A = this chain, B = another copy of it.
Amino acid sequence: MRLLTRLLAPKSVAHAHCDLPCGVYDPAQAMIEAQSVKAIAEKYAANEDPAFRARAILIKEQRSELVKHHLWVLWTDYFKPPHFEKYPQLHTLFNEATKLAGAGGTKGSVDVETADKLLAKIEEISKIFWETKQS
């Protein structure tokens, strides 16, 4: 599939995000970190060694913070007033998604389900993002 994607649109796989702004954004950045958070939660559940678990919690904290950061950047830097008018749920969606990557979400919990909820929320944001890119 990945190869197919590349054949169909070799120049469009990467989209991002700096505050020059460079004009390049992509929800994949938040998604990649959230996938990592989920994988960490799974490995945490499967390994009871306290040293391993201490490392897992530490890295999960960092990766969750990166999820928050990438989402904040999209919310502040990419999305503009017309988007918020067209998608009135956007503010709440971002607020809930970043909360899900915080103390009440994947930072504070080692449950895989919490990571899944975060991933689903980012997927919702991603869907809206790509709709706005097409119009």
Contact = CB atoms under 8 A, between A and B. Distances in A.
Interface of A: 1-5, 8-10, 12-24, 26, 28-29, 31-36, 39-40, 43, 50-59, 61-63, 65, 68, 72, 75-77, 79, 84, 91-92, 95, 98-99, 102-103, 107-108, 110, 123, 130, 133
Contact of A61 (B4, B13, B14, B58): B58
Contacts of A1: 5, 8-9, 12
B59 A19 contact: yes
Given A22-B43, A34-B14, A103-B19, A57 B59 contact: no
Given A1-B12, A20-B55, A75-B95, 8 more contacts: A19-B102, A19-B107, A21-B102, A22-B39, A22-B43, A28-B32, A55-B107, A55-B108
Contact of A72 (B39, B63, B68, B103): B68
Nearest to A62: B18
Given A61-B58, A95-B91, A130-B3, A22 B8 contact: no
A106 to B, nearest CB: 11
Copies of this chain assembled into the complex: 6
A36 B80 CA distance: 20
B32 A14 contact: yes
A103 to B, nearest CB: 5
